[in-house]
Amino acid sequence: MSNIDSKNTKYGLSAALIELTRNADRMSSINISAVAFEANMHRNTVYYHFRDMRELCLWTIHNELVKLIGGRDYFEVRDGMATFFSRFRPLLLFTRHELGTEEYLKSMRLEILPLVEPLTAGPAITSEDAKKVAVDTFVEQIIVASVVHEHPEKMIRLIFTSIMPEVLRHELI
Protein backbone atom coordinates (compact mmCIF):
# COMPACT_ATOMS: atom_id res chain seq x y z
CA MET A 1 0.00 0.00 0.00
CA SER A 2 1.40 3.37 -0.95
CA ASN A 3 1.91 6.10 1.61
CA ILE A 4 -0.80 8.24 -0.03
CA ASP A 5 -3.35 5.41 0.04
CA SER A 6 -2.45 4.72 3.67
CA LYS A 7 -2.92 8.36 4.63
CA ASN A 8 -6.24 8.56 2.74
CA THR A 9 -7.43 5.42 4.51
CA LYS A 10 -6.54 6.92 7.89
CA TYR A 11 -8.38 10.14 7.02
CA GLY A 12 -11.40 8.09 5.94
CA LEU A 13 -11.43 6.20 9.23
CA SER A 14 -10.98 9.45 11.12
CA ALA A 15 -13.92 11.04 9.28
CA ALA A 16 -16.05 8.00 10.08
CA LEU A 17 -15.17 8.28 13.78
CA ILE A 18 -16.04 11.98 13.82
CA GLU A 19 -19.37 11.29 12.12
CA LEU A 20 -20.21 8.50 14.56
CA THR A 21 -19.46 10.68 17.58
CA ARG A 22 -21.77 13.38 16.20
CA ASN A 23 -24.67 11.01 15.68
CA ALA A 24 -24.26 8.41 18.41
CA ASP A 25 -27.01 8.18 20.98
CA ARG A 26 -24.72 6.19 23.20
CA MET A 27 -20.96 6.27 23.21
CA SER A 28 -20.86 2.56 23.93
CA SER A 29 -22.22 1.85 20.43
CA ILE A 30 -19.03 3.21 18.84
CA ASN A 31 -16.38 0.56 18.32
CA ILE A 32 -13.91 -0.60 15.67
CA SER A 33 -16.62 -2.47 13.75
CA ALA A 34 -18.89 0.60 13.71
CA VAL A 35 -16.05 2.83 12.47
CA ALA A 36 -15.16 0.31 9.74
CA PHE A 37 -18.80 0.04 8.67
CA GLU A 38 -19.22 3.84 8.59
CA ALA A 39 -16.02 4.17 6.52
CA ASN A 40 -17.16 1.34 4.22
CA MET A 41 -14.03 -0.65 5.05
CA HIS A 42 -13.25 -3.98 6.65
CA ARG A 43 -12.50 -3.91 10.37
CA ASN A 44 -9.06 -5.45 9.69
CA THR A 45 -8.25 -2.25 7.77
CA VAL A 46 -8.76 -0.29 10.97
CA TYR A 47 -6.41 -2.61 12.84
CA TYR A 48 -3.86 -2.37 10.04
CA HIS A 49 -3.59 1.38 10.65
CA PHE A 50 -4.41 1.69 14.37
CA ARG A 51 -3.77 -0.61 17.33
CA ASP A 52 -7.10 0.20 18.92
CA MET A 53 -9.85 2.75 19.30
CA ARG A 54 -7.72 4.89 21.59
CA GLU A 55 -5.01 5.30 18.99
CA LEU A 56 -7.59 6.21 16.34
CA CYS A 57 -9.11 8.82 18.67
CA LEU A 58 -5.76 10.43 19.45
CA TRP A 59 -4.67 10.40 15.80
CA THR A 60 -7.96 12.06 14.83
CA ILE A 61 -7.65 14.75 17.51
CA HIS A 62 -4.05 15.49 16.54
CA ASN A 63 -4.85 15.86 12.85
CA GLU A 64 -7.93 18.00 13.37
CA LEU A 65 -6.04 20.28 15.76
CA VAL A 66 -3.17 20.70 13.31
CA LYS A 67 -5.58 21.41 10.43
CA LEU A 68 -7.47 24.09 12.37
CA ILE A 69 -4.51 25.85 13.93
CA GLY A 70 -2.70 26.44 10.66
CA GLY A 71 -0.18 29.19 11.36
CA ARG A 72 1.48 30.24 14.56
CA ASP A 73 -0.13 33.67 14.74
CA TYR A 74 -1.76 34.38 18.11
CA PHE A 75 -5.18 35.01 16.57
CA GLU A 76 -5.01 31.95 14.29
CA VAL A 77 -4.23 29.78 17.30
CA ARG A 78 -7.01 31.42 19.35
CA ASP A 79 -9.62 31.01 16.63
CA GLY A 80 -8.44 27.52 15.76
CA MET A 81 -8.60 26.35 19.38
CA ALA A 82 -12.06 27.85 19.89
CA THR A 83 -13.34 26.23 16.70
CA PHE A 84 -11.71 22.89 17.50
CA PHE A 85 -13.13 22.56 21.00
CA SER A 86 -16.57 23.61 19.82
CA ARG A 87 -16.80 21.59 16.59
CA PHE A 88 -15.24 18.41 17.95
CA ARG A 89 -16.81 18.36 21.41
CA PRO A 90 -18.55 14.98 20.82
CA LEU A 91 -15.25 13.44 19.64
CA LEU A 92 -13.45 14.86 22.67
CA LEU A 93 -16.09 13.53 25.06
CA PHE A 94 -15.89 10.12 23.42
CA THR A 95 -12.09 10.15 23.59
CA ARG A 96 -12.19 11.10 27.27
CA HIS A 97 -14.56 8.18 27.81
CA GLU A 98 -12.24 5.80 25.92
CA LEU A 99 -8.99 6.94 27.55
CA GLY A 100 -10.19 7.83 31.02
CA THR A 101 -9.99 11.38 32.32
CA GLU A 102 -6.40 11.30 33.56
CA GLU A 103 -4.91 9.91 30.34
CA TYR A 104 -7.14 12.18 28.27
CA LEU A 105 -5.91 15.29 30.11
CA LYS A 106 -2.30 14.18 29.75
CA SER A 107 -2.74 13.49 26.02
CA MET A 108 -4.52 16.80 25.40
CA ARG A 109 -1.75 18.64 27.22
CA LEU A 110 0.83 17.01 24.92
CA GLU A 111 -1.22 18.00 21.86
CA ILE A 112 -1.81 21.61 22.87
CA LEU A 113 1.61 22.41 24.36
CA PRO A 114 3.55 22.70 21.06
CA LEU A 115 0.80 24.86 19.57
CA VAL A 116 0.80 27.32 22.48
CA GLU A 117 4.50 27.43 23.36
CA PRO A 118 5.55 29.76 20.50
CA LEU A 119 2.98 32.31 21.68
CA THR A 120 4.90 32.92 24.90
CA ALA A 121 8.07 34.05 23.18
CA GLY A 122 7.63 37.66 24.18
CA PRO A 123 10.06 40.15 25.70
CA ALA A 124 8.27 40.21 29.07
CA ILE A 125 9.16 36.61 29.86
CA THR A 126 12.92 36.41 30.19
CA SER A 127 13.60 33.18 32.06
CA GLU A 128 12.92 29.64 30.88
CA ASP A 129 11.22 28.82 34.20
CA ALA A 130 8.81 31.73 33.78
CA LYS A 131 8.10 30.69 30.20
CA LYS A 132 7.32 27.14 31.37
CA VAL A 133 4.94 28.46 34.04
CA ALA A 134 3.19 30.69 31.49
CA VAL A 135 2.77 27.86 28.99
CA ASP A 136 1.59 25.43 31.66
CA THR A 137 -0.92 27.97 32.98
CA PHE A 138 -2.25 28.68 29.53
CA VAL A 139 -2.55 25.01 28.53
CA GLU A 140 -4.23 24.04 31.79
CA GLN A 141 -6.82 26.80 31.38
CA ILE A 142 -7.61 25.70 27.83
CA ILE A 143 -8.00 22.07 28.88
CA VAL A 144 -10.19 22.96 31.85
CA ALA A 145 -12.36 25.15 29.62
CA SER A 146 -12.71 22.32 27.11
CA VAL A 147 -13.76 19.81 29.77
CA VAL A 148 -15.92 21.92 32.07
CA HIS A 149 -17.81 24.35 29.85
CA GLU A 150 -20.80 23.47 27.70
CA HIS A 151 -19.61 26.03 25.11
CA PRO A 152 -15.81 25.98 25.48
CA GLU A 153 -15.19 28.30 22.54
CA LYS A 154 -16.40 31.30 24.58
CA MET A 155 -14.12 30.48 27.50
CA ILE A 156 -11.15 29.79 25.23
CA ARG A 157 -11.60 33.18 23.54
CA LEU A 158 -11.71 34.78 27.00
CA ILE A 159 -8.49 32.99 27.99
CA PHE A 160 -6.76 34.23 24.83
CA THR A 161 -8.07 37.80 25.00
CA SER A 162 -7.97 38.53 28.73
CA ILE A 163 -5.98 36.05 30.76
CA MET A 164 -3.01 35.14 28.58
CA PRO A 165 -2.07 38.70 27.56
CA GLU A 166 -1.90 39.55 31.26
CA VAL A 167 0.31 36.53 31.96
CA LEU A 168 2.60 37.48 29.07
CA ARG A 169 3.06 41.01 30.45
CA HIS A 170 4.52 39.83 33.75
CA GLU A 171 7.44 37.75 34.89
CA LEU A 172 5.79 35.01 36.98
CA ILE A 173 8.82 33.69 38.82
**3-state DSSP: the chain helix, strand, coil percent, rounded to 5?**
80, 0, 20
Name the DSSP letter for residue 124. T
Geometric angle at alpha carbon 39, from 67 and 23, rounded to 5°: 80
CB atoms under 10 Å from CB of 172, counted, come to 16
What pLDDT is recorded for position 126?
63
Whole-model pTM: value is: 0.83
Query: Tens-digit pLDDT profile for the chain (173 aa)?
Result: 555 578 899 999 999 999 999 986 777 889 999 999 999 999 999 999 999 999 999 999 999 988 888 666 778 888 888 889 889 989 998 999 999 988 998 899 888 888 877 776 655 556 777 777 777 877 888 888 888 878 888 888 888 887 777 766 654 44
Geometric angle at alpha carbon 74, from 68 and 77, rounded to 5°: 15
What pLDDT is recorded for position 43?
94
Long-range contacts of 38-47 (CB under 8 A, 24+ apart): 39/12, 39/13, 39/15, 41/9, 41/12, 41/13, 45/9, 45/13, 46/13
What pLDDT is recorded for position 125?
59
Which residues, in sequence order, are CB contacts of 148 under 8 Å at separation 6+?
Answer: none
Rounded to whole angstroms, the Cα distance separating 156 from 14 reads 25
Alpha helices in 2-73 (DSSP H): 3-23, 32-38, 43-49, 53-69
What pLDDT is recorded for position 12?
96
Do residues 84 and 64 lie in contact, with contact meaning Cβ atoms separated by under 8 Å? yes
